Amino acid sequence: MMQVDQVVHVTLKERLKEIFGYSQFRGDQEAIINSILASRNTFVIMPTGAGKSLCYQLPALVTHGTAVVISPLIALMKNQVDQLNAFGINAQFLNSTLTKAEMNKVKKDTLNGTLKLLYIAPESLTKEENLDFLKRANISFVAIDEAHCISEWGHDFRPEYRKIRGIVDNIGDLPVIALTATATPKVQQDIQKNLQMENADIFKTSFNRKNLYYEVKPKIDAKKQLIKYIKNNKGKSGIVYCLSRKTVEEIAEVLNVNDIKALPYHAGLDPATRMANQDAFLNEEADVIVATIAFGMGIDKPDVRFVIHYDAPKSLEGYYQETGRAGRDGLEGNCIMFYSYDDIVKLEKFNKDKSVTERDNARHLLTEMVSYANLGTCRRRQLLSYFGEYMEKDCGFCDNCLKPTERFKVQDEVVLALRAVEQTDERFDASHIADLLTATDNQYVTSYEHNKLDVYGKGREYNESVDYWCSVLRQLTILGYIDKDVDNYGVLKVSEKGKRYIEDPYPVTLSKDHNYDQQIADGEEE
CB nearer to ligand ADP: give 54 or 212. 54
CB nearer to Zn ion: give 380 or 432. 380
Classify the C-alpha dihedral 314-317-321-323 as positive or negative.
positive
The answer to whether 316 and 335 are in contact (CB under 8 A) is no
Work out what residue 398 binds among Zn ion, ligand ADP, none; the CB cut-off runs from 5 to 8 Å by kind: Zn ion
Rounded Cα–Cα distance for residues 414 and 277 (Å):
52
CB of 398 to Zn ion, least distance (A): 3
Work out what residue 457 binds among Zn ion, ligand ADP, none; the CB cut-off runs from 5 to 8 Å by kind: none
CB nearer to Zn ion: give 301 or 380. 380
CB of 389 to ligand ADP, least distance (A): 17
CB nearer to ligand ADP: give 56 or 338. 56
Phi, psi of 393 (to 5 degrees): -135, 165
Alpha carbon 297 to chain centroid, angstroms: 11
CB nearer to ligand ADP: give 9 or 261. 9
Question: Of 3, 5, 13, 26, which one interacts with ligand ADP (CB under 6 A)?
Answer: 26
Work out what residue 157 binds among ligand ADP, Zn ion, none; the CB cut-off runs from 5 to 8 Å by kind: none
Site membership for ligand ADP, residue 48 (CB under 6 A):
yes
Which range in 45-53, 62-70, 371-379, 405-413 contacts ligand ADP by CB under 6 A?
45-53
CB of 449 to Zn ion, least distance (A): 41
**In the 8-state DSSP scheme, what is residue 515?**
-
Count CB-CB contacts under 10 A for residue 17.
13
Rounded Cα–Cα distance for residues 133 and 110 (Å):
9
Long-range contacts of 516-525 (CB under 8 A, 24+ apart): 516/218, 516/219, 516/339, 516/340, 516/341, 516/373, 516/374, 517/340, 517/341, 519/218, 519/220, 520/218, 520/219, 520/220, 520/340, 523/220, 524/218, 524/220, 525/218, 525/220, 525/221, 525/225
**In the 8-state DSSP scheme, what is residue 17?**
I
CB nearer to ligand ADP: give 321 or 361. 321
Beta strands in 323-376 (DSSP E): 333-339
The answer to whether 436 and 450 are in contact (CB under 8 A) is yes
Site membership for ligand ADP, residue 180 (CB under 6 A):
no
CB of 52 to ligand ADP, least distance (A): 3
CB nearer to Zn ion: give 182 or 377. 377
Question: Of 2, 12, 25, 237, which one interacts with ligand ADP (CB under 6 A)?
Answer: 25
The answer to whether 150 and 194 are in contact (CB under 8 A) is yes
CB of 289 to ligand ADP, least distance (A): 18
Site membership for ligand ADP, residue 148 (CB under 6 A):
no
Which range in 41-49, 117-125, 159-167, 410-418 contacts ligand ADP by CB under 6 A?
41-49
Work out what residue 416 binds among Zn ion, ligand ADP, none; the CB cut-off runs from 5 to 8 Å by kind: none
Count CB-CB contacts under 10 A for residue 500.
12
Give, as ranges, the residues between 260 and 319 that touch ligand ADP (CB under 6 A). 300
Q: At what angle do helices 245-257 and 222-232 cross, to 10 degrees?
A: 50
Question: Of 54, 61, 312, 347, which one interacts with ligand ADP (CB under 6 A)?
Answer: 54
Contacts of 252 (CB under 8 A, 6+ apart): 262, 263, 264, 290
Work out what residue 48 binds among ligand ADP, Zn ion, none; the CB cut-off runs from 5 to 8 Å by kind: ligand ADP
Rounded Cα–Cα distance for residues 333 and 344 (Å):
25
Work out what residue 445 binds among ligand ADP, Zn ion, none; the CB cut-off runs from 5 to 8 Å by kind: none
Site membership for ligand ADP, residue 79 (CB under 6 A):
no
Site membership for ligand ADP, residue 469 (CB under 6 A):
no
Rounded Cα–Cα distance for residues 433 and 429 (Å):
6
Work out what residue 395 binds among ligand ADP, Zn ion, none; the CB cut-off runs from 5 to 8 Å by kind: Zn ion
State the residues that interact with ligand ADP by CB under 6 A.
22, 24-26, 29, 46, 48-54, 300
